[in-house]
């Protein structure tokens, strides 16, 4: 029994030893595999890091990429012309590290795209960083590049925002950044709507009207050598803006940083002293408050008065000393306008201007909006404001004010967004119908009578009325010799439907320009030494109405 037990014990111990040996063998095999896998992983990581280093940046791929992969809705004009649209574009980049023969590649690229800067491209090709060679390629050129078969050419599909009209609506549409966020204009104000809605955003503007008005402004920018100009055409009944142009403008496709102050939106953001166009508001205030009638006489008007130590005179020394209230507006009298404002009084006059929306920041569809400078009212400020001196506003607010004066006296909200609901809205009454009718008659006489200051805007068949404004530009400590010339026009004056404001920034006289009366008389004048609105903005306005009048008559 003992020997059997010993034998059994020996065999059992041997089995345990053999089992332990097999486990050790298995562990050794597993450790070898794990070690080999570890070495393989390290090598792969090293090669990956090397490739990334050589490339210099993460390369694009053929997937559709864009700013947050978001597609913005299109922006259209009132006739469904595309002003902004998101499209799929094809780009080609180059990874220099994958180029087999750089000289051959450069030669082939020159053949296909001879107009590019190949000195700069060669420098980039000699480097090791990925760069874009061509963006927004059409299918034909895309295929030509890909047919080269060079592995260094990296294709990319990208979602891109394009603006087919380039400069034409730059101050209205605005821009987006590289992350698909609106940073100015409509693109910013309606950023959320354009991202989330799949409906097109339709504006009130008309592409054809915008083009024609811009062309005339550009033309007269050369004739009168201005540093800038602006125009706004608005439906005075409902506030729809049919055209808004500010020069100089810029191509919004290029997404440049706009830091040049001369590129300001002069219509909405620019705040100016606009001169005698304010005399219409003074006349209207006198009528509406019951202090004057059109035939109210002002006798023995002084040629010069003093406000504190500062003299105020007439721009025209030949202006009569005895004038009616209506004649004061027609002949653009400074002293007569002051006398009307003094009858109205400081508080009522200030309230009247405020009710027209001239003194405070206007609520508008884009954020580029100016705020009139705050003024300290008093006897002198009342006097100067009566003829548009020392008081500021924007051309947009001027358009609103003239709309109210001419449309029967109803408030309007200027807008760039087309909404059928707005067309039938009748806002609160600001002035009486009678006041509006009398103002319209006087503005028509400014254009048609010999004493008026706007004869060049008398376009046959359109019943244009309006008021000129010539103002020196304010500078620190006073005023410069440079001028802002403005003409605020309405038409047809028998039942005004449109307000057109034209402003020229620092115009100069042109002694060689041929002026021609537009009433059918055929009378012409060559050049002038005068640099007032009657000889600059009125002429531009007349040319504009001649161009846009037929469109307005047939479409609206």
Q: What is the pLDDT of residue 4?
A: 41
Report the half-sphere exposure of 87 (CA within 13 A, side-chain side).
16
Query: Could you tell me if 87 and 193 lie in one domain?
Result: yes
Query: Could you tell me if 222 and 167 lie in one domain?
Result: no
CATH of the domain at 489: 3.40.710.10
From the CB of residue 155, how many other CB atoms can be counted at a distance below 10 Å? 15
501 phi, psi to nearest 5 deg: -105, 125
Could you list the beta-strand ranges (E) of 392-476: 392-393, 465-475
Asked if the model's pLDDT at residue 54 lies above 60, the reply is no
- DSSP letter assigned to residue 90: E
Q: Does residue 12 sit within a domain?
A: no
Count of H-run helices and E-run strands, the chain: 16, 19
Q: Does residue 459 sit within a domain?
A: yes
Count the domains in the chain: 2
What distance in Å separates the CA atoms of residue 456 and residue 469, rounded to the nearest whole number?
A: 15
Q: Return the structure tokens found at 315.
A: 């721009």
Per the document, the length of the chain is 556
H-helix segments, 368-419: 379-386, 395-406
Query: Could you tell me if 191 and 238 lie in one domain?
Result: no
| Residue 299 three-state SS | coil
CATH of the domain at 113: 3.90.1310.10
| Cα diameter, the chain | 155
Q: pLDDT digits over 326-377, tens only?
A: 999 999 999 999 999 999 999 999 999 999 999 999 999 999 999 999 999 9
**CA 432 to chain CA mean position, Å:** 34
Query: Could you tell me if 410 and 456 lie in one domain?
Result: yes
Q: Does residue 26 sit within a domain?
A: no
Q: pLDDT digits over 105-142, tens only?
A: 999 999 999 999 999 999 999 998 999 999 888 888 88
Query: Could you tell me if 144 and 213 lie in one domain?
Result: no
H-helix segments, 88-243: 102-112, 118-126, 139-146, 170-173, 185-189, 191-196, 207-223
Q: What is the pLDDT of residue 263?
A: 93
Q: Does residue 305 sit within a domain?
A: yes
Name the packing angle between helices 118-126 and 102-112 (round to 10°): 150
Q: Are 169 and 205 in contact (CB under 8 A)?
A: yes
What distance in Å separates the CA atoms of residue 518 and residue 7, rounded to the nearest whole number?
A: 134
Report the half-sphere exposure of 451 (CA within 13 A, side-chain side).
15
Q: Does residue 29 sit within a domain?
A: no
Query: Could you tell me if 95 and 169 lie in one domain?
Result: yes
Q: What is the pLDDT of residue 14?
A: 35
- Beta-carbon contacts of 205 under 8 Å, excluding residues fewer than 6 positions away, are 77, 78, 169, 172, 241, 242, 243, 244, 416
What does each C-alpha distance from 294 to 305, 319, 322, 325, 452 come to in angstroms?
Answer: 24, 18, 14, 5, 16
Query: Could you tell me if 492 and 551 lie in one domain?
Result: yes
What does each C-alpha distance from 124 to 56, 76, 98, 132, 536 come to in angstroms?
Answer: 12, 40, 13, 10, 52
Q: pLDDT digits over 401-441, tens only?
A: 999 999 999 999 999 999 877 666 667 999 999 999 999 99
pLDDT tier at 159, thresholds 50, 70, 90: confident
Query: Could you tell me if 216 and 153 lie in one domain?
Result: no
| Residue 346 three-state SS | helix
Asked if the model's pLDDT at residue 238 lies above 60, the reply is yes
Asked if the model's pLDDT at residue 318 lies above 90, the reply is no
What's the pTM value of the predicted model, to 2 decimals? 0.82
Q: Considering the chain, what is the average pLDDT of its residues? A: 88
Which one of 170, 202, 234 terminates a domain? Answer: 202
Higher per-residue confidence, 2 vs 358: 358
Q: Does residue 124 sit within a domain?
A: yes
Q: Are 362 and 404 in contact (CB under 8 A)?
A: no
Query: Could you tell me if 440 and 506 lie in one domain?
Result: yes
409 phi, psi to nearest 5 deg: 105, 10
Q: pLDDT digits over 386-402, tens only?
A: 999 999 999 999 999 99
Q: What is the pLDDT of residue 257?
A: 72
Q: Does residue 347 sit within a domain?
A: yes
Print the domain residue range for 391.
208-555
Q: Does residue 44 sit within a domain?
A: no
Query: Could you tell me if 428 and 311 lie in one domain?
Result: yes
Asked if the model's pLDDT at residue 19 lies above 70, the reply is no
Which one of 202, 226, 258 terminates a domain? Answer: 202
Asked if the model's pLDDT at residue 247 lies above 70, the reply is yes
Q: What is the pLDDT of residue 26?
A: 45
pLDDT tier at 66, thresholds 50, 70, 90: very low
What distance in Å separates the CA atoms of residue 228 and residue 230, rounded to the nearest whole number?
A: 7
Q: What is the pLDDT of residue 291?
A: 97
- Beta-carbon contacts of 14 under 8 Å, excluding residues fewer than 6 positions away, are none
Torsional sign, CA 466, 329, 358, 422: negative
Query: Could you tell me if 261 and 370 lie in one domain?
Result: yes
Q: What is the pLDDT of residue 424?
A: 61
Which one of 161, 185, 202 terminates a domain? Answer: 202
Query: Could you tell me if 197 and 212 lie in one domain?
Result: no
């Amino acid at each position: 029994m003992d020997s059997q037990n010993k034998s059994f014990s020996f065999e059992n111990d041997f089995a345990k030893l053999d089992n332990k040996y097999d486990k050790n063998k298995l562990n050794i095999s597993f450790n070898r595999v794990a070690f080999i896998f570890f070495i393989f992983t390290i090598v792969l990581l090293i090669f990956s890091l090397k490739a990334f280093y050589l490339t210099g940046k993460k390369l694009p791929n053929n997937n559709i990429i864009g700013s947050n992969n978001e597609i913005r809705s299109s922006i259209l004009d009132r006739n469904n012309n595309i002003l902004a649209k998101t499209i799929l574009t094809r780009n080609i980049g180059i990874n220099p590290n994958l180029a087999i023969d750089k000289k051959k590649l450069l030669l082939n690229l020159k053949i296909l795209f001879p107009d590019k800067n190949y000195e700069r491209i060669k420098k980039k090709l000699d480097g090791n960083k990925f760069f874009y060679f061509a963006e927004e390629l059409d299918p034909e050129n895309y295929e030509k590049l890909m047919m080269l078969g060079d592995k260094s050419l990296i294709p990319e599909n990208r979602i891109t925002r394009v603006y087919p009209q380039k400069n034409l609506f730059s101050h209205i549409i605005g821009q987006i950044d590289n992350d698909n966020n609106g940073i100015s204009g409509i693109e910013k104000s309606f950023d959320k709507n354009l991202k989330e809605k799949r409906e097109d955003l339709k504006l009130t503007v008309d592409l054809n009207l915008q083009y024609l008005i811009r062309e005339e402004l550009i033309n007269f920018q050369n004739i009168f050598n201005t540093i800038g100009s602006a125009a706004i055409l608005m439906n005075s009944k409902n506030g729809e803006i049919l055209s808004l142009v500010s020069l100089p403008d810029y191509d919004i496709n290029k997404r440049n940083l706009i830091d040049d102050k001369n590129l300001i939106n002069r219509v909405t953001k620019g705040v100016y002293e606009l001169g005698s166009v304010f005399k219409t508001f003074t006349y209207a205030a006198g009528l509406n408050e019951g202090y004057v009638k059109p035939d109210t006489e002002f006798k023995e008007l002084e040629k010069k008065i003093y406000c504190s130590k500062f003299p105020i005179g007439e721009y025209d020394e030949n202006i009569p000393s005895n004038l009616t209230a209506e004649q004061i507006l027609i002949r653009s009298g400074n002293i007569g306008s002051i006398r009307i404002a003094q009858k109205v009084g400081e508080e009522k006059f200030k309230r009247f201007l405020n009710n027209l929306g001239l003194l405070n920041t206007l609520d508008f569809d884009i954020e580029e909006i100016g705020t009139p400078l705050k003024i300290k009212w008093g006897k002198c400020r009342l006097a100067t404001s009566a003829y548009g001196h020392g008081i500021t506003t924007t051309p947009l607010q001027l358009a609103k004010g003239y709309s109210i004066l001419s449309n029967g006296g109803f408030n309007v909200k200027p807008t760039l967004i087309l909404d059928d609901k707005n067309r039938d809205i009748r806002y609160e009454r600001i002035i009486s119908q009678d006041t509006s009718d009398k103002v319209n008659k006087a503005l028509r006489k400014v254009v048609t009578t010999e004493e008026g200051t706007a004869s060049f805007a008398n376009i046959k068949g359109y019943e244009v009325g309006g008021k000129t404004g010539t103002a020196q530009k304010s500078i620190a400590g006073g005023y410069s010799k440079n001028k802002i010339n403005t003409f605020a026009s309405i038409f047809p004056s028998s039942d005004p439907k449109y307000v057109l404001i034209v402003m020229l920034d620092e115009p100069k006289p042109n002694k060689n320009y041929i002026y021609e009366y537009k009433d059918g008389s055929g009378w012409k004048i060559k050049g002038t030494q005068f640099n007032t609105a009657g000889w600059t903005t009125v002429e531009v306005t007349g040319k504009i109405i001649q161009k846009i009048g037929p469109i307005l008559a047939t479409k609206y």
